[in-house]
Amino acid sequence: MRTQVAIIGAGPAGLLLAWLLRRQGIAAVVLERRSREYCERRVRAGVLEQGTVDTLAEAGVGARLKAEGQVHHGIELRFGGAGHRIAFEELVPGRGITVYGQQEIVKDLIKANLEAGVDLRFEIDDVAIGDMADHPHLTFGGERLDCDFIAGCDGFHGVSRPAIPPGAIRVFEKTYPFAWLGILANVRPSTRELIYSASERGFALHSMRSDEVSRFYLQVPPQTRPEDWAEDEIWAELKARHETVPDFELNTQGEITSVDVAAMRSFVAEPMRHGRLLLAGDAAHIVPPTGAKGLNLAVADIRVLARSLTDYYRHGREDLLDRYSEICLRRVWRAQHFSWWMTSLLHTSDHATLYDRRLQRADLDYVVSSRAQATTLAENYVGLPFSADESG
């Protein structure tokens, strides 16, 4: 078998790349370890930057997102017994966020790709990368797929990044001393916008997926398992961390449908290209979820990668491919800093001294009292505009 671009991973990054290439007449094959059903049900991020929404709309796969996504024009920082709204419409006019589950994006992209005849293959669990230089290829199930380029869109634990020889890639990472307990519940949201609550008990986040489904997060120790928390304990802790302002009552009338634990880490692999292998999304970088940047960074990567490959096939140009890593990493490191800052701003730590806690409170007070600092938060949260290098 032969194709132009072999894509490992049918998450948002791999599926969006396949779709954008198909629109340019470039052939791709997508290989995914999990089943289609698993990919379409896997609950992940749900906060989309303005640029991500615009990208999906421009690509022709944003109809359901536009119809069902919830547009938000602010978030609330809750601490010290008060809530403080960061008003996007005032600080960054014309830009906001949209709440729309990652699994819904995956459904939209799978449907579009299949209808367009893109070769998507699920439950392929033995993919191996062959030559990444002169004769790039993949092997799986006794078959061989030759290609011009390999796109590693298979996440942090995939096969793409480990295939790069030691010494050819540099890794930067940080592990945080806490995790997030993620809760999905069939409960009407108690808020119209996301609430980021900082308290002595730890951080909590109230998000949503629809008018009937809420998504919550609790800061927990890193060794936590989902089964460590009973349902009544989850609701009690959510109430204790969110009901810290007058007249606010958390709605708990509904069923918790899933509980998971997300590790908190920062990770960057440089460069994002080795020969004819190009990494994108979580295969190349991870951010703590506090700043809601993971999915959005993947989409930004794919914008650059799709444009670079299109230039190669249409015009024989490799200059954008040569600069792929450089262009993407500028946004990646900005997002790394923002995600680290948001995490440090809102979380407690057993290792924090009284001095550390007073600094944290001073930082929170400054964010909600300084228009300049609030604008910094807002413009990073909704997503920085794409540069000329990132625009198609």
CATH number at residue 30: 3.50.50.60
Would you give the DSSP letter of residue 384? P
Active site residue: 137, 242, 274, 293, which one? 293
363 domain residue, yes or no = no
Strand order in the sheet with 97-99: 47-48, 97-99, 70-72
Rounded-to-integer distance, Cα 86 and Cα 76, Å: 6
**107 counts as catalytic:** no
Q: How far apart are CA 390 and CA 304, in angstroms?
A: 5
214 belongs to a structural domain: no
Distances 269 to 157, 167, 276, 380 between C-alpha atoms, Å: 13, 12, 16, 22
| Helical packing angle, 12-23 and 294-315, nearest 10° | 30
- Is 324 marked active-site? no
Asked whether residue 254 is assigned to any structural domain, the reply reads no
* For the chain, counts of helices (H) and of strands (E): 12, 20
Q: How many domains does the chain have?
A: 1
In a domain, 139, yes or no: yes
Residue 391 lies in a domain: no
Is the whole model's pTM more than 0.75, yes or no? yes
Name the residue range of residue 305's domain.
5-72+97-173+265-348
Q: Dihedral through CA 221, CA 225, CA 230, CA 233, nearest 10?
A: 10
Using DSSP, state whether 235 is helix, strand or coil: helix
Question: Catalytic: 72?
Answer: yes
Measured between alpha carbons, how far is 290 from 369 in angstroms, rounded to an integer? 21
Q: Quick count: other Cβ atoms within 10 Å of Cβ 130?
A: 15
Residue 368 in any domain: the answer is no
pLDDT of the chain along its 392 residues, tens only? 999 999 999 999 999 999 999 999 999 999 999 999 999 988 777 899 999 999 999 999 999 999 999 999 999 999 999 999 999 999 999 999 999 999 999 999 999 999 999 999 999 989 999 989 889 999 999 999 999 999 999 999 999 999 999 899 999 999 999 999 999 999 999 999 999 999 999 999 999 988 999 999 999 999 999 999 999 999 999 999 999 999 999 999 999 999 999 999 999 999 999 999 999 999 999 999 999 999 999 999 999 999 999 999 999 999 999 999 999 999 999 999 999 999 999 999 888 899 999 999 999 999 999 999 999 999 999 999 999 988 76
Q: How far apart are CA 192 and CA 178, in angstroms?
A: 28
Categorise residue 110: left if φ over 0, alpha if ψ from -120 to 50, beta otherwise.
Answer: alpha
Residue 103 lies in a domain: yes
User: Pick the catalytic residue: 136, 176, 189, 196?
Assistant: 196
Closest Cα to residue 61, out of 130, 220, 69? 69
CA angle 102, 103, 107 (to 5 degrees): 120
* Residue among 176, 312, 324, 381 flagged as catalytic: 381
Domain assignment present for residue 126? The answer is yes
Catalytic hit among 12, 189, 288, 289: 289
